[in-house]
Structure 1
Amino acid sequence: MRFKSNLKNVRTFSKLVAALSSLEKIAWLRLDDENVRFTVIPDTGSQVWATLSMDFIFDNYALQSQEPNNVINLELPLGPLQRALRSALNGVSASIRLTKKDGIPILSMTITTTAAPTKEAQGVARFGAVNQNAGGRGHDDEDGMFVHEPLETNLHREREKIITQDIPVRVLHPDTVETIMQPKVREPDVHIQLPPLLQLKAISDRFTKLAVAEKTSTTSTSSTTASISPKLELSANMHGGLRLRLDTDTLQVESEWTGLENPELDPSLLTCALEDHPSTRFRAAGPDKWATVRVDGKDWSKVLGVGRLEGRVIACFADDHALIIYVYIPQYDETGSADDSVVTYYVSSYSL
């Protein structure tokens, strides 16, 4: 089993790992000849399936295993990976390889950075220049040709620094990973492109704080603020409408977006005829026909953290059942275009 590669798109990679680590501490990483997949399945809350092409984050990679397509499955702690990528953000280059240390498998990340010269080194250079003029020779040396100059090049040159970050991993048996199945969801009733997620997150967080404050002020129990988990109602229609609502016994607030895009479906990818698709019926029913899901406010805030990737986001509503969010991360090749990588979130709807 062998894997080593240079890293590229480190900033985007770091943003993705930060979004995943807000949901869970551990991810399953699957590498093969074409794709890299991150799977996050917490005990409670939203699940994530992120599939990116190998060329998106790896460069000049070597991958080898005894499995078909050279598949390697790893259990990976996201916290150490996030810290390593943070160190690589300002580096000149970074590489990663699967190896062992004291018999324990690790992903070892090697980061090359540059360090500016120290003040002490710069001080030596200035002192040398002063002494050079102290001899009173003026601007010519003894033969009238050139002035001796202090050697400052090496003192001002940026110094190379190597940082190594070791991330402990577990190598998983293929049979174990095959049991990790992506959730099956019925055809969505509504699909809509969401507004900027960071904008939606700011409003959602405001609603959650209102609900927590209200609950804290009215409850007579010893529940702490951290244990309060308000539910938000998210609705969309097939006429460009999206609605976020908080509805409690004493508080009702709502935000609504209009003019959003309902993308056209590709008939070749459907399991039924387009005219029989649920979204077609929702569109025909008019703008008053909404599909609704109820989400945990705090978990929803973590999901919206993926907005830092700044990709196009499509939300698919299965009314009163689940919300599937597809975050498309644009990537480009030498011709200027390539297929998007996609991060998929599965968010269950809570019952009333």
Structure 2
Amino acid sequence: MRFKASIQNITTFTKLTASLNSLGPLAWVKLSDDQVCFTIIPEQGTQVWAALSIDTIFETYTVQSAANNVINLEVPLGPLNRALKSALNATSAQIRLTKKDSMPLLALTIVTTSSSNSYSAFPTGASNDGGLDAPFDDSFGGGNRETIITQEVPVRVLAPDTVAGLHEPQCREPDVHIILPPLLQLKSISDRFTKLALAGARSGPGSTASRTRLEMAANMHGCLKMSIKTDAMSISSVWTDLSNPELDPGQVAGGEIGISEHPSTRMKLLGSADGRSEEGWASVRIDGRDWGKVMSVGRLGGRVIACFCHEHALILYVYLPSDNGEDESVLTVRDLALAFLITPLNN
């Protein structure tokens, strides 16, 4: 079993692990020849299914195993994120699967250069020995020094049988799909709504809704609505002039005919662009604080498409920024980085 890769995009990798860590402490990481997959399936809350192409994060990449060159790991996201933070200013970084005292580890080797004679302090991550292995190399002239640091993150190797039953859940075709406004803007407003709802519900034990019901709704005319209703208050915010991306005939069963019969096509015949019509809306009720955690993925940038299955599920598809000229008006799975399945609350 062998895994070794050089990291070409430390910033994206660090932001990704920080976002995932807000939703769960452990991730199932699946390494294969063409993808790196991060999966979080908490007992309660949002599921994450992230599938990244190799060149999104890595430059050189090698994975070998007796199980068709697939390695499954259980990785603690907090220690991994702290280790990656120490590499943000590195000139190069490599990650590999190794062992220490029979314990499997992800070893992150970081190379930095400095023109000063002073030592730099780096976070120790989760390694047992402080995470530092930093010999100095004076091969650079003119006072430049190369520092090599190794951060070690304990992991657990998962047998193929352990993860064989884990599959991305299947949902019915969405009634509405819409490109969301900036997630940090959504997070700010939803956090404010949640705090107001909790403050208004603290009238006595048992009366507060520990899971604040935030209602999200959208239509096929570029409108998004976020609202909270309690016995004491009712507030909402509405966005208009958002984009509803077109479906790609090549990725819809039945092609053009399938699109003509798609639920979102029927929903487009209802409602209006000013958001005032009560028709044509698909909505779900979700936990406000869980939604706030999901919004942390906004640090990655890129576009986010929300797919509403009316009163059934809300799925967010997060696309990393791309320089390939991809048409953002078309809903496609190309360049998809993460998929969030947000658990709806019962009425």
Q: TM-score if structure 2 supplies the norm length?
A: 0.85
- Residue from 303, 327, 344 that aligns with 2:294: 303
What's the % identity of the aligned pairs? 54
Q: Once the two structures are superposed, what CA deviation does each residue of 1:287-317 show, in whole Å capped at 9, x if it has no partner?
A: 3320001110110001111011111110000
Give the match for residue 337 of structure 2.
342
Asked which structure has the greater CA Rg, the reply is: 1
Q: Give how far 1:156 is off.
A: 6.3
**2:270 equivalent to 1:271:** no
| Pair 1:46 & 2:46 matched | yes
**Alignment size in residue pairs:** 312
2: CA distance, partners of 1:53 / 1:300: 26
Q: Distance in 1 between matches of 2:20 and 2:118?
A: 41
Q: CA deviation at 1:116?
A: 4.5
Partner of 2:130: none
Once the two structures are superposed, what CA deviation does each residue of 1:189-244 show, in whole Å capped at 9, x if it has no partner?
Answer: 0000000111111101110111111122x2x2289x9x832110000001000000
| Alignment of structure 1 residues 74-89 onto 2, 5 Å | 74-89=73-88
1:277-296 alignment to 2 at 5 Å? 277-287=262-272, 288=277, 289-296=280-287
Cα distance in 2 for partners of 1:27, 1:155 equals 43
Q: CA 1:213–1:203 in structure 2 vs 1: closer, same or farther (change >3 Å)?
A: same
**Preserved CA contact (<8 Å) 2:117 2:143:** no
Offset at residue 159 of structure 1 (A): 2.3
Shift of 1:348: 1.9
Compute the displacement of 1:274 (Å): 1.5
- Tell me, in whole angstroms, the C-alpha distance in 1 between the residues paired with 2:20 and 2:45: 12
Asked if the contact 2:5/2:96 (under 8 Å) is kept, the reply is yes
Q: For residues 225-264 of structure 1, give each alpha carbon's deviation from its aligned partner in whole angstroms, at most 9, with x where no partner exists.
A: 9x83211000000100000001100111110000111110
* Residues 103-127 of structure 1, C-alpha deviations (whole Å, 9 max, x = no match): 011110011123442479xxxxxxx
Corresponding residue of 1:326: 317
1:176-195 correspondence to structure 2 within 5 Å: 176-195=162-181
CA deviation digits over 1:71-106, x for unaligned, max 9?
Answer: 111111101100011001111111111110000111
SS at match of 1:212: helix
Match of 1:246 in 2: 228
TM-score by length of 1: 0.84
> Are 2:271 and 2:281, in contact at CA under 8 Å, matched by a contact in 1?
no
Q: Residue type of the partner of 1:276?
A: E
Q: Distance in 1 between matches of 2:80 and 2:170?
A: 30
Structure having the higher helix fraction is 1
1:322 shift after superposition: 0.4
Residue 14 (structure 1) aligns with: 14
CA–CA distance in structure 2, aligned partners of residues 42 and 301 of structure 1: 16
1:212 aligns with 2:160: no
- Give the alignment's Cα RMSD to 1 decimal: 2.1
Unpaired stretches in structure 2, ≥5 consecutive residues: 120-139, 327-333
Structure 1 residue runs of 5 or longer lacking an equivalent are 121-153
User: What CA distance in whole angstroms lies between the structure 1 residues aligned with 2:96 and 2:151?
Assistant: 11
In the alignment, what sits opposite 1:32? 32
